[in-house]
Structure formats: C-alpha cells, structure tokens
Amino acid sequence: MADPKPRVKVPKKAAAGEVITIKTLISHPMESGQRKDKQGNLIPRQIINKFTCEFNGQVVFSCDMDPAVSANPYMEFNAKVNESGTFKFTWVDDDGSVYASENKITVE
Amino acid sequence: MSFTRRQVFGLTIGAAAFVAAGSRVSFAATDQTEEAIKAFTGGAEPKEGTVSLDTPEIAENGNTVPVGVSVDSPMTTDSFVESVLILADGNPNPAVATFHFTAMSGVAEAKTRIRLAKTQNVIAVAKMNDGSTFIDRKEVKVTIGGCGG
C-alpha cells in the first residue's frame, strides 16, 4: 500500500469572523473487514478511525469513522476564523500510525 | 421420488426453522440501529426536525455515496451542536460515522462519502449541547452494493 497522502483545501485568506469551508481527502483503502480474498479468507480490517481538525491548538471539528466510510475518506466541514493561524489535520489509522497535515490562513 | 408422511413433517419443520432464523438475522440490523440511537441519545426519543440529511435518491455505486448533514443551530458557545451520528440500517454494522462539532465550527454542516450494502435508510441523529436530540431519515436506493466483493 502506498503511503497515505493527505490533501487539504483551505482558503489562504479570509475576513475576520468569516465561516470558511475546508475540504480534506486522504488516500487510504479503508479495508472494511467484510471482504474476502480469492482463497475465501477474510481480509483484516484496517481503516482510519479518527480524524481531527485543530486551529491554533483548539479542536474545531473531529470525526469517528466506522468501516462504512468509503475508501479515500473525504470530509467537508466549516470553521469560523477570527485570527490568523494554522490548521492542523490528523488522521489516526487502526494500526496506530498518525498522518498529519498543516495549513496556514491569513485573516485580514 | 415420493415422500413418506414422516419425511414431509421433518421437511416442513426444517423449512419453518430456517425461515424463522432468517427473519431473526434481518431484524438484528434494525435492533442494532435502535440500540445505537438509544446509546447515543442516552435513552431519550429524538424529535423530528432541525437536522437534515442530504442524500441522493438513487446511488448507482454503493461504494461511494455522498452524504451531507446540516443542523439548524446558531453555533455559539451557549448553543451549539455537539455531535451528529450517522447510521445505515441495512449495513452489516449500522454505524457509519460520528461528527463532533464545536462552537468554532461556525456552521454545523459536514459532508462525506459512505458505503451502503443495499437499498436502505440512512439516519442522522444530532445531539445539542443542552442534551436535546433530533433525528432525520432518508431512504437511498442502491443499484450496486458496496460491501464484500
């Protein structure tokens, strides 16, 4: 499996107090644990079970995921920005690995 | 090939048992859904309204069904949506995802893509910071299921 690669879309600039839309996508098979291989053995579950978005250290949005979330999980949500800062996104895999991405935003 | 009286009895009872077992399995998913809603709301019966689900009427591919949820709330520190539970009652495991919002979210809206095994109801349950709960259900027709393979 290729290393999961996060892709995040955050506007570079925003007005103070504006509600912005953030789109995130990460490449991951989200193996549900229901599928069988050619020999009829169950393929073990391996999904991203937790996604968190933080702004300047404060949690804005988070999501617990179950195997029913599609492969390459996509998330679209909103955030209200009052000051310039950094958005930090983290994805937690079933095997304990953590994938992270950061985006800066300037508030005028 | 002809059956004796005894064989016919055996077959009938066997078939009845099979049917009964089959219906129990199909009810299990609905029970699980109800249990998941109860566990989320803390036993309270959620009210209709306030939360709305945005799903396609027909999903051609059950592997990626776009689902959006939005909750009518001012999203201030005094009154905001705490979390939204998404369930699919026809999947082998009804839990899909739980979104957690904060006052910093600005608007309680989220979109994602989910897997649906067959034609079924998608359910969203929203929990406010004051403990009140709201529910919305939408049926999604699935042409090709998105589980197993």
pLDDT tens digits, one per residue of A10-24: 999 999 999 999 999
- Which residue range(s) make up the domain with B88? 26-144
Note the pLDDT of residue B3.
62
Q: Which of B95, B113, B148 sits opposite A74 (nearest CB)?
A: B113
Closest-CA distance of chain A to residue B125, Å: 14
CATH of the domain at A69: 2.60.40.10
Task: Look at strands B58-61 and B133-144 and give their pairing.
Answer: parallel
Across the interface, whether the CB atoms of A67 and B115 are under 8 A apart is answered yes
DSSP B78: S
- A54 CB neighbours in chain B (<8 A) are none
Identify the pLDDT of residue B29. 67
B121 part of a folded domain: yes
Strand-pairing partners, residue B140, are B120
Quick check: is B5 in a domain?
Answer: no
Residue B12: the pLDDT is 59
CA distance B143 to chain A (A): 16
| Chain B residue set in contact with A, beta carbons under 8 Å | 63-65, 68, 75, 88, 91-93, 95-102, 104-107, 109-116, 146-149
User: Is pLDDT above 60 for A74?
Assistant: yes
Task: Give the C-alpha distances (Å, rounded to integers) separating B41 from A41, B35, B130.
Answer: 37, 10, 12
| Inter-chain touch B95–A77, beta carbons under 8 Å | no
Average pLDDT of the residues in A79-98? 94
pLDDT score for B31: 84
- The backbone torsions φ and ψ at residue B59, rounded to the nearest 5 degrees and listed phi first, read -110, 120
Q: The domain spanning residue B70 has which CATH number?
A: 2.60.40.2470
pLDDT at position B24: 44
Of the candidates A47, A44, A56, the one whose C-alpha atom is nearest the C-alpha of residue A81 is A56
Give the Cα separation of A39 and A25 in Å (integer). Answer: 32
Q: Find, among B105, B64, B74, the residue nearest to A22 by Cα.
A: B105
Mean pLDDT throughout A47-67?
A: 94
Whole-angstrom distance, CA of residue B124 vs CA of residue B19 = 32
When divided into structural domains, chain A yields a total of 1
B74 found inside a domain: yes
Tell me, what's the pLDDT at B145? 78
Q: Residue B107: closest CA among chain A residues belongs to which residue?
A: A78
Rg, C-alpha atoms of chain A: 16
Residue of A nearest to B91 (CA): A68
Chain A contacts to B (CB-CB under 8 A): 19-20, 32, 34-36, 55, 58-71, 73-80
In-domain check, residue B66: yes
Cβ contacts of B102 within 8 Å, gap of 6 or more: A58, A59, A60, A61, B80
Mean pLDDT throughout A67-81? 94
Question: Residue B22: left (phi > 0), alpha (psi -120 to 50), or beta?
Answer: alpha
Q: What is the predicted pLDDT for the residue at B17? A: 53
| Contact by Cβ (8 Å): A62, B102 | no
Nearest CA-CA partner of B102 in A5, A49, A8, A77: A77
Q: B42 lies in a domain?
A: yes
CB atoms B96 and A69 under 8 Å: yes
Are the C-beta atoms of A91 and A74 separated by less than 8 Å?
Answer: no
The pLDDT-based confidence of A54 (bands split at 50, 70, 90) is very high
Between chains, do B100 and A67 touch, taking CB under 8 Å as contact? no
Number of domains forming the structure of chain B: 1
By Cβ distance, the residue of B96, B106, B113 closest to A80 is: B106
Q: Which residue has the higher pLDDT, B7 or A7?
A: A7
pTM reported for the whole predicted model: 0.82
Task: Give pLDDT, residue B15.
Answer: 56
Q: What is the pLDDT along chain B (149 residues), one digit of tens a residue?
A: 566 666 666 655 555 555 554 444 444 567 889 899 999 998 888 999 899 999 999 998 999 999 999 999 989 988 999 999 999 999 989 999 999 999 999 999 999 999 999 999 999 999 999 999 999 999 999 988 776 54
Q: Which residue range is the domain that position A70 belongs to?
A: 5-107
Interface test with B, best of A48, A51, A65, A90 (most B CBs within 10 A): A65
Query: Which pLDDT belongs to residue A76?
Result: 96
